[in-house]
Amino acid sequence: MIPNVRFQAVLDTNVIYPLISRDLLFWFAHYELYTPKWSKHIFDEWKEVMVRKGLNHEVAAKRIATVNSAFPEALVKNYEFLIPTLNLPDQKDRHVLAAAIKSNSNCIVTNNLKDFPKEIVDNFEIEVIAADDFLVDIIDLNHDQAIAAFKEMVFTRKNPKMEELEIINQLKKCGLKKTADFLLSLI
């Protein structure tokens, strides 16, 4: 199957951190299996998490700059005006939906599904999907490209270096059990 890079997904902070899920999401994007989208608000939250987990501000800022450099089209701009017009159970998540609307994204990838009720996001023709389900869908649509991306992720992994099965176990530990099992069945 030909990858559809027009399929756009806003990545919520909770799927960008932890590292192992972010790596797989970014490698799949690098292999043009989908187009990632995010906002300054999302990356501000990501930076807060990195600092809270012990990274200094400079290293956290450098990671964000590196990701924005790798995916220059991913940063959604001029979405802020939409935020006050949206109503969600957790008002702090309005910026995620605003970025999805502004970028005409197909979906929001988040592990906080309850924060994006179907009856609200359906009005904008945006699907909300858990990271595990999103990754499984990507793998299912294009086995060869997804496995190539996974293998390159394993090959380039440093600090610490990990083998395929170690990474699959890490995916399981961070809640990506279906993804891990699917990858294992294909390698």
Which stretches of the chain score pLDDT less than 70?
A: 1-5
Q: Tell me: the pLDDT tens digits for 158-183?
A: 877 888 999 999 999 999 999 999 99
CATH code 3.40.50.1010 for 8-186: yes
- In 3D space, the residue among 43, 30, 33, 5 whose CA is nearest the CA of residue 134 turns out to be 33
The order of strands in the sheet holding 8-11 is 35-37, 8-11, 107-109, 127-129
pLDDT recorded at residue 179: 97
* Residues 6 or more apart whose Cβ sits within 8 Å of residue 182: 136, 139, 140
pTM, full prediction = 0.92
pLDDT at position 160 is 78
Domain ranges of the chain: 8-186
Task: Using DSSP, state whether 109 is helix, strand or coil.
Answer: strand
